[in-house]
């Protein structure tokens, strides 16, 4: 499963309270990896068998992630009255129920859809990553699947243990499944203000990528 990675020159460091990883170094990159579907299916099959033995713990983890994601609301606009406490609670409940419904819908295709299963694995890995560092939060900004292409955008937010400053890590995920081979494209764009200088370079790279159609 060959992996090709191109990285930018800048990098960001985050101080953590973790004894084993006291400092994280993040840098912008784009990467593409190709998979032989037969080999990948064998790996997925083994993972699913183990998942069933564990009583679908992975699905439980994904549901927990869905309920813990920050509710996305428009917020009160300037000059408008603030919403009541009951209104805020209803909005939060609605958003949580909507995300959980999406999660349940996605979970239904994980068993038969390779792209969905790969997204599931990415979510689980990032959720575990989030729990490893104090003050870190994870948000699934968007996820969309059209035909054989799945796209997801994740946002990981760090709080530096020393300076208490925020660092944002935007991660892009594209999975293109074919009849015999599949391709995974990853993007990384860390920044202190969610306006990474490498955005134009990453967008240009994605626009130039050509995936062979089988």
* Model confidence pLDDT, tens digit, residues 156-181: 999 999 999 999 999 999 998 887 88
Is residue 77 a part of any domain in this protein?
no
Q: Which residue has the tokens 């594209």?
A: 174
**Average pLDDT score over residue span 104-132:** 70
Percent over 90 (pLDDT), the chain: 33
Task: Assess if residue 148 is contained within a domain.
Answer: yes
Cα separation, 112 vs 156, in Å, equals: 28
Examine residue 140 and state whether it is found in any structural domain, yes or no.
yes
- pLDDT at position 166 is 96
The better pLDDT of the pair 74, 175 is held by 175
Cα–Cα distance, 80 to 78 (Å, whole number): 6
Would 63 be classed as within a structural domain? yes
Strand partners, 184: 33, 175
**Which residues on neighbouring strands pair with residue 175, listed in sequence order?**
150, 184
User: Which pLDDT band holds residue 78 (cuts at 50, 70, 90)?
Assistant: very low
48 part of a folded domain: yes
- Residue 202, pLDDT score: 92
Q: Using pLDDT thresholds of 50, 70 and 90, give the confidence band for residue 192.
A: very high
Residue 109 has what pLDDT? 43
Two structure tokens written together for 77: 């606009």
Question: Does residue 149 lie in a domain region?
Answer: yes
The SS3 assignment for 39 reads helix
Tell me how far apart the alpha carbons of residues 152 and 146 are, in angstroms, rounded to a whole number. 12
Q: Is the pLDDT of residue 15 over 90?
A: yes
Residue 43 lies in a domain: yes
Question: What are the tokens at 85?
Answer: 């406490």
Residue 113 included in any domain: yes
**Residue whose entry in the numeric block shows the structure tokens 């004894």:** 19
Provide the domain limits for residue 99. Answer: 3-69+89-208
Place of tokens 């428009």: 74
As a whole number of angstroms, the distance between CA 30 and CA 202 comes to 7
Between 202 and 47, the more confident residue is 202
Q: What is the pLDDT of residue 76?
A: 43
DSSP 76-94: PPTTSPPPPHHHHHHHHHH
User: Count of domains in the chain?
Assistant: 1
Predicted pLDDT of residue 121: 80
């Amino acid at each position: 499963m060959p992996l090709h990675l191109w990285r930018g020159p800048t990098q960001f460091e985050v101080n953590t309270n973790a004894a084993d990883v006291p400092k994280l170094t993040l840098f912008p990159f784009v990467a593409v990896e190709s998979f032989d579907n037969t080999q990948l299916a064998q790996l997925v099959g083994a993972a699913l068998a183990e998942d069933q033995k564990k009583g679908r713990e992975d699905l439980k983890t994904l549901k927990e992630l869905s309920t813990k994601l920050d509710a996305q609301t428009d917020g009160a606009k300037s000059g408008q009255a603030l919403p009541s406490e009951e209104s805020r609670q209803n909005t939060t409940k609605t958003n949580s129920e909507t995300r959980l419904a999406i999660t349940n819908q996605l979970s239904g295709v994980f068993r038969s859809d390779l792209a969905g299963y790969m997204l599931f694995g990415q979510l689980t890995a990032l959720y575990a990553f989030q729990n490893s560092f104090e003050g870190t939060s994870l948000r699934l900004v968007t996820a969309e699947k059209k035909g054989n292409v799945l796209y997801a955008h994740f946002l990981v937010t760090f709080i530096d243990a020393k300076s208490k400053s925020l660092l944002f890590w935007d991660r892009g995920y594209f999975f293109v499944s074919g009849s015999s081979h599949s391709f995974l494209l990853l993007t990384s764009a860390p920044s202190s203000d969610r306006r990474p200088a490498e955005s134009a370079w990453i967008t240009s790279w994605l626009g130039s990528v050509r995936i062979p159609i089988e």
